[in-house]
Amino acid sequence: MVVTDNVVDMSLSTHPRSEHSIRLRIDGAIRDKDPLRIGGAIRDYEENIMKVVITGGGGFLGSMLCEALLKQGELTAPSGKRQRIESIVLLDAVFPSLSVDPRVTRKVCEISDREAVFDAVGTDADVAIFHLASMVSGECELRFEDAMRVNLDGGRNVFDAARAAARTTDELPRVVFASSIACFGGDVIADCFSDSSKHLPRTTYGMTKTICELLVNDYSRKRFFDGRSVRLPTVIVRPGKPNAAASSWASGMFREPLAGIDCPLPIRRDQRHPMTGYRTVIDSLIALHELPESRLGGDRAVGLPAHQVTPLLAEQVLAEVAAEHDLTIGKIVEAYDDRIQGIVNGWPTAIDGSRAMKLGLPQPPPVKEIVKQFLEDFASV
């Protein structure tokens, strides 16, 4: 809107505290947020617009979260009110494909690049941050220094950028951090781990996740931002090729046979492992963001409920799905790896997700339904 003399000129510009605010220029003077008397009526022309930042936005969960948020169209802002999502900024070192939605901006960088992270988050309190970027478990065991630089220093960069974006201690950006059940462990693995279990990670990956969980708790206590950590079980079924995660077999033992390919199994066939579906994880990330902080208390980390899955169960589910869909499936074949089995031995075998369910976060559907969802979403991948 362009105005001369007594007419208002509205344009998108950079606000020192809100980079997406609509600014008003009247008679050469810029007035932000103040109600303006125009034509005898008092009106507030500022429109608060929500920006979402997703680190790890080029990955599987990051891209699915982006898609879900675009479809939803709004989130709860620091004010506690629902606001329209105007833009989503994705941060990642690599993006597999081009974005087609004009609301999405892709920024190629590592979260260890502090300046790039601060630039992406900006100084707008009307921002939501989902911190998913991380080196995976197998990589962290082999490259300790890189794990510290990316997972730990990178996490601090994201958290400090969120702190810088806070307008007041009453209107704090919400930060959702993707943690992991790898925070738990020990010389003797308990039958089941819950949100009250002691953290004793047996991997570098789990150690970095534990420290970031504690940072989220303390930054929230200090009123730097309004943080929440979602402690993820292993997420299945991921499309594409196997990655360097020590849990990569969990998706592979479903994905490869469904494609008619044999899957090498580096662990015991009776190994129990907590797993959940990717749709449930996306719903949980958003639901945890939307929860009022009063319901979380001082412990901001919430462990998601999960199924105990074994390769033996996977074979049974695959046989049932193959029969129902007339599929010729591959086999799960022995390829035992002492290193991978050793890592898995230090992880929980069962998770108590009762706190998450009390907070209203969803339970995963049966494993068979998770596999069917994968076929529905990625059968051609």
pLDDT digits (tens, 9 = 90+) for 206-252: 999 999 999 999 999 999 999 999 999 999 999 999 988 999 999 99
Clarify whether residues 170 and 299 are in a common domain: yes
Clarify whether residues 76 and 163 are in a common domain: yes
Query: Are residues 98 and 57 in contact, defined by beta-carbon separation less than 8 angstroms?
Result: no
Q: Is the pLDDT of residue 134 over 50?
A: yes
Which position has the higher pLDDT, 96 or 26? 96
Clarify whether residues 172 and 89 are in a common domain: yes
In a domain, 243, yes or no: no
Clarify whether residues 35 and 107 are in a common domain: no
Length, in residues, of the chain: 381
Is the whole model's pTM more than 0.75, yes or no? yes
In a domain, 245, yes or no: no
In a domain, 158, yes or no: yes
Q: Please name the residue ranges forming H helices in 143-267.
A: 144-147, 154-165, 204-221, 248-258
Structural domain of 123: 50-236+276-307+353-365
Give the pLDDT score at 125. Answer: 66
Average pLDDT, the chain: 88
Clarify whether residues 22 and 143 are in a common domain: no
Distance CA 217, CA 224 (A): 10
In a domain, 261, yes or no: no
Structurally, the chain folds into a number of domains equal to 2
pLDDT digits (tens, 9 = 90+) for 324-345: 999 999 999 999 999 999 999 9
Clarify whether residues 39 and 151 are in a common domain: no
Clarify whether residues 25 and 74 are in a common domain: no
Residue linked to tokens 């630039």 = 119
Distance CA 87, CA 91 (A): 13
Query: Are residues 88 and 54 in contact, defined by beta-carbon separation less than 8 angstroms?
Result: yes
Clarify whether residues 23 and 154 are in a common domain: no
**Residue type, position 284, single letter:** S
pLDDT digits (tens, 9 = 90+) for 295-330: 999 999 999 999 999 999 999 999 999 999 999 999
Clarify whether residues 38 and 73 are in a common domain: no
Q: Is the pLDDT of residue 132 over 50?
A: yes
Clarify whether residues 22 and 84 are in a common domain: no
> Is 205 designated active site?
yes
Active-site hit among 45, 205, 219, 278: 205
The domain that holds 92 is classified in CATH as: 3.40.50.720
Clarify whether residues 26 and 68 are in a common domain: no
In a domain, 326, yes or no: no
Q: Is the pLDDT of residue 72 over 90?
A: yes
In a domain, 167, yes or no: yes
Give the pLDDT score at 102. Answer: 93
Parallel, antiparallel or unpaired: strands 273-277 and 104-108: unpaired
